[in-house]
Each structure stands twice: as structure tokens, then as C-alpha cells.
């Protein structure tokens, strides 16, 4: 609240100025981030950051004990309440190990962890009651998140400290994701085995939840039934719902029960300078899931997680469509992902739509997929106006770029190392188009360098709703197998080089209006450059300069014919 001070005399002026300074909002110098808004392809309003009163409170002064054993839940609550009553400020967590139960942020609070501070949430699951929340795009009963805020504004979590969710007390583990010694030690530590002893749960309540429904969102009839499997209903670690002007700047967020950080229906969100970590085997161990949020910047972060790293969502199926809030106006720059199912991901819960997204200057190292778009029939929603550039990727097991409209909730790589993709060269029956049909269009990718162990890329739409208006420009993709385009329309590949080890460099199946220019591929050992498959494939524009021996380098299969080609 702004206070208007009137001058009442020269003697009082110094006192009034001192009071005004003490009660004013602090505006400490902030590093210039104008570069984040450079070279954007759409109108992007500048994200508003929270500003806090120049007031701080140290939890040590409230009696917090930094021994890693004493529960400090009441101290954190007291500090937040005290600052909130005064109009807000910074709650300082000094060096030490602080154990706590759930912490709920309020408006105008900056939770600041100093160097050497470790906030660790308790592994006593009884401290986390069931609450009405959201998970995987739907309303759901979940255990209370360790750190949360609902309907607040001007909130922040800052500083160089660490926030640890004690996720191993919550998460199941699949045998196939561990070495033999790791699995033996885990089983010997206690817990419960299910699924023919191939899956471990930390408690019987959690195991019973899996027995009743292997879905993460079990559909039960009563609250009492949910309570009986409470431990199975793992929370996201940081849940921010319907909040305005949110800043996450500096901390390490690690070891979450489910997703790590989940902003939902938030406006003006800044995520920068974070380290986000989870064990690579962590079930649903996402890094950052931005859902139905507007005006967001994400930059200078490092991710090393067990599922998708940077993921955009907007609700699932009917609930997501009825919510109708897209994720829009988002800039993602200068992030590094060391491990994850996907480096940058949209979906699969995208029923409210995703639009106006810029991603650039990122590095993905060993992610199962680099750039990942995923959805399924039943979702509905439109993903459009996505711009991705200057991405470097190494050691990608499946594809550096994947569009998959047949996503079934499985990881890109199954436990035996095989791909979870359906066959991409089989005729699939088209369904009737309805509000449940997802649409991906107007997506532009350029300046890509990648190597991997699977396919160069996969662009796959639906027979009834083609992947539409996608461009890939200036890309060098090295992989054992080539680049497949399936059920797509109006696709442009410009200056794309595929260094494949076997089969054709490019395969087109049931696709139309495909422009291919300045293509390069591995021609050693008589490898083909292009395979045209399916009678519906047509309107393929090629440059003669790209094919020195087209009779040997281009093959027609599965009903395709040469009339599909348009030479220039």
C-alpha cells in the first residue's frame, strides 16, 4: 500500500523521509535481463517481478534449530505470519539443516535461503494431509505439498540454499531402472514389492494404492478410500496455484516426491538461476512443469531429473478444455539439461492449449529425447506459434526432435531399452475430428546440432489431424537411423543434414506438401536418401541438386508413386 506523506515543516522532513524509506518497497539492484526479451517472434509483455518491503526476519531469531532433527514447521509458519501481518518482507533461512513439515507461503513473502542453508522436508508422511489439489492436468486429492501457495501475489523463493523434498520416502522405484546392487540394497532397506517383485514402494499404503489403480489418478468413491491409500497420492514438491508475480531465483530444488516445481494458473512468473535435481530413476521426477500460466520467463537454469525437465502443460482432456487456460507468452533461454525424458517438452496434458513460446540457446546432454511434443486422442487443444532455435544436443538415445500424437504415458525408453513408440510405417485408421482431437501447428525450429543412438528425428501427427506448418532449418543430425515424417502437411526442411548409419536418411509416410531443399545425407555404402511411403503421400518438392542419382537414392514403397514428386 502506498503512503502519501505531506511536508509539515523543515524540522520534520528528515524524520518523514526516514519513515518513508523504512516502509517503502525495497528495490535492490537487479541484473539486467533485457537480453531475455531480444529477438522474440511475438509480442511479449515484460514479466512483472515481485517487489518486497525492506524488512527481514531471521528464523534463528524465532527459535529455529538447525540440527536436521528438530521439526521447525511452527517456526516457519510463525515467521510467515509475522511478516505478512507487517505487510511482508524477507524470511531468512541461515546456514544449517532445517527439518520442516509443509510450509505455506503468503503474499509479499520472500523465502530466502542463504549460502549453506538446507531446508529438508520431513519423511513423516503423516505431516502431509490430503488436500484438494491438481496433478497431471486434473483436479485430484493429493497429499499437501511440502511448499505451496494458493491465490497469493508477490511471492518469491530466493538465495543459494537447497530445498530437499525427501522424495525417497514417497517414490516407488522400478527394478529395471537400478543396477542389481542398488536394487538389492533398496529391497533390504524395507518397503513393499509388487508387480511380480519388479516394483518397490516405501510403504504398504502406497503399495495398496498401486494395487487398486496403477494410474497416478485413482478414481475412488469416497474420501475414506483415498485416505486408505494416502501415501500413494504423492504431492509435487513446490505447488504454486493461481498466483501473481512469482519469482524463483537461486536455490537448488531436489529430491521431490513427484514433480519438483509446478506453477499452475499463475501470471508473471520468473524462473532463473535454479538447479533442479532428481535421481534419474525417480518416478514422475519432472523438473519444472508450467501449466496454464501466462507471461513467463525461464532462463539460466540447470536441470538433472528423472522425467521431463522443462515441460509445458494446460490441463488434461475434458477438465483441461473446460478450464480453457492456455500456457502462453513464455521465453526459455540459456538452460542446460543433463538428464531427463525430454529437455524441452510440450504435453501431454495440453488440452487448454499452448501458444507463443520462444526457446533458444539451450543444451541437452543425454536426455531420452531433446525437443519433445506429445499428445493423444482425447486431449483436444491447440499447440501453436512455437519458436525453437540454437539448441545443441548430445548422446540422445531416441530422437533429438520428436512429435508423437500417440503418447501413451510411457517413458521414451522402456525398461528393456526399447522404444515406446508405436510403429510409424503402418496404416492407422483415422478417427472423426472432434473437440477431443489435438492439433499441433505453426512450429518453427532452426539451428540444431544433435547426435544420438536412435533416429535422427520423428515428426508424427494423426491421420485425422495432420501435424501442420512445421519448419526445420539449419540442422545437423547424427544417428544410426534417419528422419521420419508421418501424417504431416506443409512441412519444410531447409539445409538439413542427416548422417545416418543405415536405411534412408528421410522417410515420408502419408504426408503432403513437403518442401525439401538443401538436403544432405550419408551416401556411403549406397545408403538411400529418401523413401516415399503410402499412396496418400503427395506434393513432395525436391531440388535436383540435392540428389545426384535419384534412381538409386529415392525409393517408392507401400503404394507411393513418382507422381508424388515435384522437381525443381
pLDDT tens digit sequence for 171-199? 999 999 999 999 999 999 999 999 999 99
- Give residue 481's pLDDT: 95
Tell me, yes or no, if 307 is annotated catalytic.
yes
Residue 11 has pLDDT above 50, yes or no: no
Render pLDDT for 525-565 as a digit per residue (tens, 0 to 9). 789 999 999 999 999 999 999 999 999 999 999 999 999 99
Residue 306 predicted with pLDDT over 70: yes
Strand partners for 263: 240
DSSP string, 238-260: EEEES-EEEEEES-EEE--SS-S
* Catalytic hit among 341, 358, 487, 489: 341
DSSP tally for the chain: helices H, then strands E:
7, 44
Mean pLDDT score of the chain, rounded to an integer? 92
Q: Is residue 468 a contact partner of residue 435, using CB atoms and an 8 Å limit?
A: no
CA gap 12, 10 in Å, rounded: 5
Answer whether residue 46 shows pLDDT above 60. Answer: yes
The owner of cell 514447521 is 73
Work out the pLDDT band at 422, boundaries 50, 70, 90.
low
Beta bridge partners of 163: 119, 253
Question: Cα–Cα distance between 110 and 83 in angstroms, integer?
Answer: 10
Report d(CA 166, CA 189) in Å as an integer: 16
Residue 419 pLDDT greater than 90, yes or no = no
List the beta bridge partners of residue 89: 109
**Which of 5-14, 169-178, 430-439, 515-524 comes out lowest in average pLDDT?**
5-14
pLDDT digits (tens, 9 = 90+) for 123-132: 999 999 999 9
Average pLDDT over every residue of 339-344: 96
Q: 388 with 359: CB under 8 angstroms?
A: yes
As beta bridge partners, residue 521 has: 498
Active site residue 341: yes
- Structure confidence at residue 411 (pLDDT): 54
| pLDDT, tens only, 254-281 | 999 999 999 999 999 999 999 999 999 9
Q: DSSP of 15-57, one letter per residue?
A: HHHHHHHHHSBP-------GGGGTT-SS--PPPPPP--BS-EE
Give the pLDDT score at 542. 97
User: Minimal CA–CA distance to 313: which of 304, 325, 322?
Assistant: 325
What pLDDT score does 501 carry? 94
Instruction: Give the position of cell 531468512.
Output: 92
Q: pLDDT of 101-139, one tens digit each?
A: 999 999 999 999 999 999 999 999 999 999 999 999 999
pTM, 2 dp: 0.92
Position 363 scores a pLDDT of: 98
| The three three-digit cell numbers of residue 310, written as one number | 522443462
C-beta atoms surrounding 459 within 10 Å? 27
Catalytic residue among 307, 308, 358, 487: 307
Instruction: Give the pLDDT of residue 320.
Output: 97
CA distance 250 to 243: 20
Indicate the DSSP class of residue 347: -
Distance CA 238, CA 217 (A): 19
Reduce the DSSP state of residue 326 to 3 states and report it.
Answer: coil
Question: Could you tell me the CA-to-CA distances from 255 to 193, 212, 264, 283, 401 in Å, in that order?
Answer: 22, 26, 20, 11, 28
User: What H or E segment, with its residue span, contains residue 494?
Assistant: strand 488-500
Cell readout for 266 is: 499463475
Is residue 6 scored above 70 in pLDDT?
A: no
Extract the runs of DSSP E, i.e. beta strands, from 165-211. 173-174, 192-194, 199-201
pLDDT tier, 524 (very low <50, low <70, confident <90, very high otherwise): confident
Mean pLDDT in residue range 498-519: 96
Average pLDDT over residues 25-42: 77
**pLDDT classification of 428: cutoffs 50, 70, 90:** confident
Residue (of 407, 413, 418) closest to 440 by Cα position: 407
For 187-245, what is each residue's pLDDT tens digit? 999 999 999 999 999 999 999 999 998 899 999 999 999 999 999 999 999 999 999 99
* Contacting residues for 294 by C-beta, under 8 A, at least 6 apart: 266, 267, 268, 325, 326, 327, 328, 329
Amino acid at each position: 500500500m502506498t503512503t502519501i506523506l505531506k511536508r509539515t515543516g523543515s524540522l520534520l522532513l528528515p524524520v518523514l523521509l526516514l519513515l518513508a524509506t523504512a516502509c517503502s518497497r525495497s528495490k535492490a539492484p537487479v541484473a539486467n535481463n533485457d537480453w531475455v526479451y531480444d529477438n522474440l517472434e511475438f509480442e511479449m509483455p515484460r514479466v512483472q517481478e515481485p517487489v518486497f518491503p525492506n524488512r527481514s526476519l531471521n528464523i534463528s531469531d524465532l527459535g529455529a534449530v538447525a540440527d536436521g532433527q528438530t521439526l521447525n514447521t511452527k517456526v516457519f509458519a510463525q515467521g510467515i505470519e509475522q511478516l505478512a501481518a507487517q505487510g511482508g518482507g524477507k524470511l531468512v533461512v541461515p546456514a544449517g539443516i532445517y527439518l520442516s513439515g509443509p510450509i505455506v507461503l503468503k503474499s509479499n513473502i520472500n523465502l530466502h535461503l542463504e549460502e549453506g542453508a538446507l531446508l529438508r522436508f520431513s519423511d513423516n508422511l503423516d505431516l502431509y494431509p490430503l488436500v484438494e489439489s491438481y496433478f497431471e492436468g486434473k483436479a485430484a486429492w493429493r497429499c499437501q505439498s511440502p511448499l505451496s501457495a494458493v491465490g497469493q501475489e508477490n511471492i518469491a523463493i530466493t538465495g543459494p540454499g537447497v530445498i530437499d523434498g525427501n522424495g525417497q520416502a514417497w517414490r516407488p522405484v522400478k527394478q529395471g531402472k537400478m543396477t542389481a546392487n542398488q536394487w538389492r540394497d533398496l529391497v533390504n532397506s524395507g518397503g513393499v514389492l509388487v508387480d511380480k517383485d519388479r516394483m518397490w514402494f516405501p510403504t504398504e499404503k502406497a503399495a495398496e494404492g498401486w494395487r487398486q489403480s496403477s494410474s497416478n489418478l485413482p478414481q475412488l468413491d469416497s474420501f475414506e478410500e483415498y485416505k486408505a491409500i494416502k501415501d500413494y497420492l504423492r504431492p509435487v514438491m513446490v505447488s504454486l496455484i493461481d498466483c501473481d508475480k512469482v519469482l524463483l531465483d537461486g536455490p537448488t530444488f531436489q529430491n521431490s516426491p513427484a514433480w519438483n516445481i509446478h506453477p499452475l494458473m499463475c501470471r508473471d512468473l520468473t524462473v532463473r538461476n535454479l538447479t533442479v535435481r532428481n535421481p534419474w530413476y525417480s518416478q514422475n521426477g519432472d523438473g519444472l512443469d508450467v501449466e496454464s500460466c501466462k507471461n513467463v520467463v525461464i532462463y539460466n537454469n540447470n536441470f538433472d531429473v528423472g522425467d521431463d525437465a522443462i515441460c509445458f502443460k494446460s490441463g488434461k482432456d475434458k477438465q483441461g478444455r473446460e478450464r480453457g487456460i492456455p500456457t502462453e507468452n513464455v521465453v526459455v533461454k540459456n538452460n542446460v539439461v543433463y538428464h531427463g525424458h525430454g529437455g524441452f517438452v510440450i504435453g501431454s496434458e495440453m488440452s487448454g492449449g499452448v501458444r507463443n513460446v520462444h526457446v533458444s540457446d539451450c543444451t541437452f546432454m543425454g536426455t531420452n529425447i531433446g525437443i519433445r511434443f506429445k499428445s493423444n486422442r482425447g486431449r483436444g487443444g491447440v499447440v501453436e506459434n512455437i519458436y525453437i532455435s540454437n539448441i545443441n544436443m548430445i548422446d540422445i538415445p531416441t530422437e533429438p526432435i520428436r512429435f508423437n500424437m500417440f503418447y501413451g504415458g510411457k517413458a521414451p525408453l522402456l525398461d528393456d531399452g526399447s522404444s515406446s513408440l508405436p510403429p510409424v510405417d503402418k496404416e492407422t485408421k483415422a478417427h472423426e475430428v472432434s473437440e477431443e482431437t489435438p492439433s499441433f501447428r505453426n512450429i518453427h525450429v532452426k539451428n540444431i546440432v544433435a547426435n544420438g543412438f536412435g533416429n535422427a528425428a520423428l515428426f508424427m501427427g494423426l491421420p485425422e489431424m495432420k501435424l501442420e506448418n512445421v519448419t526445420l532449418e539449419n540442422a545437423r543430425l547424427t544417428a544410426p537411423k534417419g528422419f521420419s515424417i508421418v501424417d504431416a502437411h506443409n512441412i519444410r526442411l531447409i539445409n538439413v543434414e542427416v548422417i545416418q548409419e543405415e536405411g534412408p536418411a528421410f522417410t515420408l509416410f502419408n504426408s503432403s506438401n513437403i518442401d525439401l531443399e538443401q538436403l544432405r545425407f550419408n551416401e556411403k555404402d549406397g545408403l538411400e536418401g529418401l523413401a516415399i511411403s503410402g499412396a496418400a503421400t503427395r506434393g513432395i518438392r525436391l531440388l535436383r541438386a540435392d540428389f545426384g542419382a535419384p534412381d538409386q537414392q529415392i525409393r517408392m514403397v507401400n503404394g507411393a508413386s513418382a507422381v508424388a514428386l515435384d522437381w525443381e
